[in-house]
Structure 1
Amino acid sequence: MVGTASTAGPVSKLGFTEDQVVLELGYDDDIDDELRAQIEEAIDGALEDEDFEDVVDAVLLWWRDSDGDLTDALVDALATLEDHGFIVLLSPKVGLPGEVDPSDVAEAAETAGLHAAASVNLTPEWSATRLVAPKTARR
């Protein structure tokens, strides 16, 4: 459990709780394995990959500037979410390769019908933004 205390708070701030089904998208060589492990510990289970074919409670989306159209990725992620689910968008911090401009995140989220509910600095390399549908749009 070494290192867990430093991010356990931020991971829980993002809304991960025990028994959630979490779909992970955008996995690549640059992701943070320790952060993944802490999320799996918080949900008390494994993250699902893009082959998972059921609805999920949350989507963990690793995103870099070169990954394509963020709005499309968010809309695709929404299609897999349960009502009241959320997306955690992880992007490289400012100044690091692949960084995503915060205004691009805000614009893509708005276009996809989402808004930022929380932003958390999780690791030295990755920032997280919790995206949810506005309360007025929820069922």
Structure 2
Amino acid sequence: MSATADHAEERTNPAVRLGIQPGQVVQELGYDDDTEQALREGIEAISGNELVDEDYDDLADAVVLWFREDDGDLTDALVDAISLVDDGSPIWLMTPKTGRDGFVVASEIGEAAQTAGLQQTKPFNVGKDWTGSRLVTPNASRSGKS
């Protein structure tokens, strides 16, 4: 029953997969006209807050980073994103799907994440043109260990 309801909500709101909770502040980096509007609206609907941009001056609960091949150095962008959240908070890296303008090679994502000190989860579909990956600090899931 509830699995069916969760699956139905996931189809109508792509942000459900991100694990965003009501009241959370989500900082968005790399926004442009090509970003997945349904995902952005879904995040705002779940959190009850508008997405904040790069000018936000406090720590966010999560970061959504839209990144395209020509956006510069991915490692630098990830390191910058890490500084915007508390330890253990997710960074959601959104990249164009294979064959789309701005596509980022999977090996580049993995290398950049590792260099930045992050672990990458399996990529997942976040819309017609975008793929998402959840990136976290390696010890974020092991509370009490350093």
Is the shorter-chain TM-score for this pair beyond 0.5, marking a shared fold? yes
- 1:42 equivalent in structure 2: 46
- 1:20 equivalent in structure 2: 24
> Once the 2 structures are TM-superposed, how far is the Cα of residue 119 of structure 1 from its aligned partner?
2.1
- 2:11 equivalent in structure 1: 6
Give the distance between the partners of 1:83 and 1:132, measured in 2 at CA: 8
Task: Give the direction of change, closer, same or farther, for the CA distance of 1:27–1:4 in structure 2 (3 Å limit).
Answer: farther
Q: TM-score, normalised by structure 2?
A: 0.85
Is it true that 1:67 corresponds to 2:71 in the alignment? yes
Count how many residue pairs are aligned between Structure 1 and Structure 2.
136
Contact kept? 2:124, 2:132, Cα under 8 Å: yes
Identity across matched positions, percent: 46
Larger Rg, first or second structure (1 or 2): 2
- 1:31 equivalent in structure 2: 35
- Residue 85 of structure 1 aligns to a residue in which SS? coil
- Residue 83 of structure 1 aligns to a residue in which SS? coil
Higher relative contact order structure (alpha carbons within 8 Å, sequence separation ≥ 6): 1
RMSD over aligned Cα, in angstroms?
2.0
Give the distance between the partners of 1:54 and 1:71, measured in 2 at CA: 22
Is it true that 1:57 corresponds to 2:61 in the alignment? yes
Q: Partner amino acid for 1:55?
A: L
Give the distance between the partners of 2:10 and 2:114, measured in 1 at CA: 33
- Residue 86 of structure 2 aligns to a residue in which SS? strand
Which stretch shifts more, 36-45 or 90-99? 36-45
Give the distance between the partners of 2:132 and 2:96, measured in 1 at CA: 9
Give the distance between the partners of 1:105 and 1:28, measured in 2 at CA: 20
**Structure 2: runs of 5 or more not aligned:** 1-7
Give the distance between the partners of 1:134 and 1:77, measured in 2 at CA: 15
Q: Which 4+ stretches in 1 moved above 3 angstroms? A: 136-139
